[in-house]
Chains A and B, each alone.
Chain A
């Protein structure tokens, strides 16, 4: 490790390298290990087979989110396999002494929503989870990334991982977004620009005026989708916005420890003169709301745009991919995306299931009715988000508009729990993946922001939230 200027990533990495032998990856210490029901059972089985214990249960925390139903918590889980999986998580946490925010707990929710909410996610930490959207936590200036189940077992056993040092990639977002354009649109624009493999082997650091101006929750949306551009992780330097969000939360340092932590955290931002391996620049002031039309998150266009023509792709692979995507989506080159019919609107997920996302959606749905024949699901990211939304009257706004107001979970983002599209249906969704069948076998997804999804709920077609009469679209700068 050098003494020269270092990036935020390098500072966190260097501090957490436990050992590094020639020819071997670094042994990297993990500060926080998040566990959920889907990617952990085989890891606990592995521990049992080897007679190992969990090394640091007090740095591990679990919740049930992926396969849990989002209907009333008073009903049992009808899906036997899901019930078994959730039951195994409870049993495993009990056996190994891991704190669990299980079904029925006031803190249950999507793992990437509850980490920040409880103040567990803190600047300078290394955070891992058997889930690719672990990149979310990077919004606090933590090095956070998804791992496989074999690695879950390693972290449970040793609180460490073997990792090759990734490269760094600065994503500079200059200027300010205009009203009606949100963090979701920034990240969809980045993925459209560099593609779903553009960040492979790299850790992003998001910098620039537009990022600094974002609220904490908007930053979480940006970092969440780093993985959709292939990035190993996504980081944002901690600043006063970060510290204000954290202060007073359950697991945030208190009293003198807070001041010490603050002093440490203020040293984390990238030093002047530090070099990134790559850089890309985006002008936020030029961005429109974004919508995806295809079958990966890189297939996105400005909402006023038209479906691209595969014939214009220069690379034969891209041409093939685009043609295949348009066939699956049943869309034709040159068509506008605006005005495309939608059957379902999904508002939720670890990307856009936080309180500010629901406030944005509610600002559009307030005193209005969703279009006839459109199913609108609003799924809070956590039970705490649900309670807060109800305190603010948002749940009532959703119900009065004709939307379903559900319990917390991943729901139709991954469609494991029965919340799913039927073959051929179109959804506009605030989630993160539009892969074939992602939201239900044969279903088709347009990814968009909460504002765009809510606007489309009112009309039943893909709609630009900035053009709805009588709606003053909020600026994300002002919506906490």
Chain B
């Protein structure tokens, strides 16, 4: 379960790559874990490390010393396409990322991120370009992400409003999860079950 999402201020990590897929975020060979620990090292592994295991030279943006404590990822278009691995948001959160700015997100990634206290913020293309320009012109520009009012505060009193699913927002601000909500609906689920006969029995002909 995630911590309650709180307003925070951070500089940006610029990642000008389009369609960043979840195989880049966490390569599949790191999916053999059976817990959620240690995934920060796997984050963008093959973009960060050379064949011999050493950090690439020049280093990938995450490994530049000035990026160490940054919590906002400014990514290219359509972030998070590909597989359903929740290891992707687990790794991003383990690294310290709390919000991602992009023109769009793949559906499953967005859903997984919101369940882990990681805020995907969709920005229209014009503003997206401006953010990259800002991050080049002033790499130390600070942004404040305020979920409650759904605004990113930019330098110079400029505000960037954003949309977020109202239900996901409540969950994020409370730091609670959807399973609790579902468990609260068990009476409805029982009623649905009673009026909908099961279509299959997976135990048929198989040892349980």
- Which residues in A have some Cβ–Cβ distance to B below 8 Å? 15, 18-19, 23-25, 27, 29, 31-32, 38-39, 41-42, 45-46, 50, 56-61, 66-67, 79, 81-82, 84-85, 88, 93, 97-101, 107, 120, 122, 124-125, 130-132, 146-151, 153-154, 157-162, 164, 166, 196-197, 200-201, 227, 230, 232, 250-251, 296, 298, 317-318, 320-321, 324, 414-416, 423, 433, 435-438, 441-442
A415 touches B29 (CB 8 A): yes
Q: Within 8 Å CB of B179, what residues of A?
A: 46, 50, 150, 153-154, 157-158
Question: Beyond A132-B82, A296-B19, is A61–B202 a contact (Cβ under 8 Å)?
Answer: yes
The listed residue (B85, B86, B181, B208) touching A24 by CB distance below 8 A is: B181
Closest to B24 in A: A436
The listed residue (A19, A39, A58, A161) touching B188 by CB distance below 8 A is: A19
A320 touches B32 (CB 8 A): no
Q: Within 8 Å CB of B112, what residues of A?
A: 148-150
Question: Beyond A99-B203, A147-B108, A201-B107, is A131–B84 a contact (Cβ under 8 Å)?
Answer: yes
Q: Within 8 Å CB of A61, what residues of B?
A: 202, 206
- Judge whether B56 is part of the interface by a CB distance below 8 angstroms: no
How many residues of B are counted as interface, with CB atoms below 8 angstroms from the partner's CB atoms? Answer: 64
Q: Within 8 Å CB of A415, what residues of B?
A: 28-29
Alpha-carbon gap, A111 to B48, bound state (A):
32
Q: Name the distance in Å between B190's Cβ and chain A's nearest Cβ.
A: 10
Alpha-carbon gap, A26 to B23, bound state (A):
30
B19 touches A101 (CB 8 A): no
Alpha-carbon gap, A80 to B166, bound state (A):
43
A296 touches B115 (CB 8 A): no
B206 touches A107 (CB 8 A): yes
The listed residue (B77, B111, B201) touching A148 by CB distance below 8 A is: B111
Q: Within 8 Å CB of A154, what residues of B?
A: 178-179, 182
Alpha-carbon gap, A60 to B204, bound state (A):
12
Alpha-carbon gap, A313 to B99, bound state (A):
30
Q: Within 8 Å CB of B208, what residues of A?
A: 57, 93, 97-100
A196 touches B19 (CB 8 A): yes
- Which residues in B have some Cβ–Cβ distance to A below 8 Å? 16-19, 21, 23-24, 27-29, 31-36, 46, 51, 76-78, 81-86, 104-108, 111-112, 115-116, 165-167, 177-179, 181-183, 185-186, 188-189, 191-193, 196, 198-208
A-B contact pairs, 18 of them (CB 8 A): A29-B192, A39-B84, A58-B201, A66-B31, A84-B32, A93-B208, A120-B202, A148-B84, A148-B86, A157-B179, A159-B193, A161-B182, A197-B81, A296-B19, A320-B16, A320-B76, A433-B23, A433-B83
Alpha-carbon gap, A324 to B186, bound state (A):
50
A423 touches B200 (CB 8 A): no
Alpha-carbon gap, A84 to B34, bound state (A):
8
The listed residue (B16, B182, B203) touching A160 by CB distance below 8 A is: B182
> What 13 new A-B contacts, CB under 8 Å, besides A82-B32, A230-B107?
A24-B167, A27-B188, A61-B206, A85-B32, A160-B189, A200-B78, A201-B107, A251-B204, A415-B28, A433-B82, A433-B83, A437-B46, A441-B29
Alpha-carbon gap, A442 to B191, bound state (A):
52
Counting residue pairs across A and B whose Cβ atoms lie within 8 Å, the total is 227
A39 touches B85 (CB 8 A): yes
Closest to B105 in A: A200
Alpha-carbon gap, A84 to B94, bound state (A):
23
B111 touches A151 (CB 8 A): yes
B111 touches A23 (CB 8 A): no
Q: Within 8 Å CB of A85, what residues of B?
A: 32, 34
B205 touches A250 (CB 8 A): yes
Q: Within 8 Å CB of A423, what residues of B?
A: 51
Q: Within 8 Å CB of B207, what residues of A?
A: 99-100
Question: Beyond A38-B31, A132-B82, A414-B28, is A122–B199 a contact (Cβ under 8 Å)?
Answer: yes
Question: Beyond A18-B192, A132-B82, A197-B81, is A42–B35 a contact (Cβ under 8 Å)?
Answer: yes
B200 touches A32 (CB 8 A): yes
Closest to B31 in A: A38
B19 touches A321 (CB 8 A): yes
Question: Beyond A58-B203, A120-B202, A132-B84, is A200–B106 a contact (Cβ under 8 Å)?
Answer: yes
Q: Within 8 Å CB of B16, what residues of A?
A: 320
Q: Name the distance in Å between B53's Cβ and chain A's nearest Cβ.
A: 11
Q: Name the distance in Å between A201's Cβ and chain B's nearest Cβ.
A: 6
Q: Within 8 Å CB of A88, what residues of B?
A: 34
The listed residue (B82, B116, B200, B203) touching A435 by CB distance below 8 A is: B82
B183 touches A197 (CB 8 A): no
Q: Within 8 Å CB of B188, what residues of A?
A: 18-19, 27
Closest to B21 in A: A435
Alpha-carbon gap, A56 to B46, bound state (A):
40
Q: 6 closest pairs, A vs B, by CB?
A: A41-B34, A81-B32, A148-B112, A148-B86, A146-B84, A321-B18
Q: Within 8 Å CB of B191, what residues of A?
A: 18
Q: Name the distance in Å between B113's Cβ and chain A's nearest Cβ.
A: 9
A162 touches B178 (CB 8 A): yes
B115 touches A157 (CB 8 A): no
A57 touches B24 (CB 8 A): no
Q: Name the distance in Å between B180's Cβ and chain A's nearest Cβ.
A: 9
A230 touches B81 (CB 8 A): yes
The listed residue (A45, A57, A200, A232) touching B35 by CB distance below 8 A is: A45
Q: Within 8 Å CB of B115, what residues of A?
A: 148, 150-151
Q: Within 8 Å CB of A131, what residues of B?
A: 83-84
Alpha-carbon gap, A414 to B23, bound state (A):
9
Alpha-carbon gap, A124 to B179, bound state (A):
25
Q: Name the distance in Å between A318's Cβ and chain B's nearest Cβ.
A: 7
Q: Within 8 Å CB of A67, what residues of B?
A: 31-32
Q: Within 8 Å CB of B81, what residues of A?
A: 196-197, 230, 296
Alpha-carbon gap, A18 to B28, bound state (A):
35
Q: Within 8 Å CB of B204, what residues of A?
A: 250-251
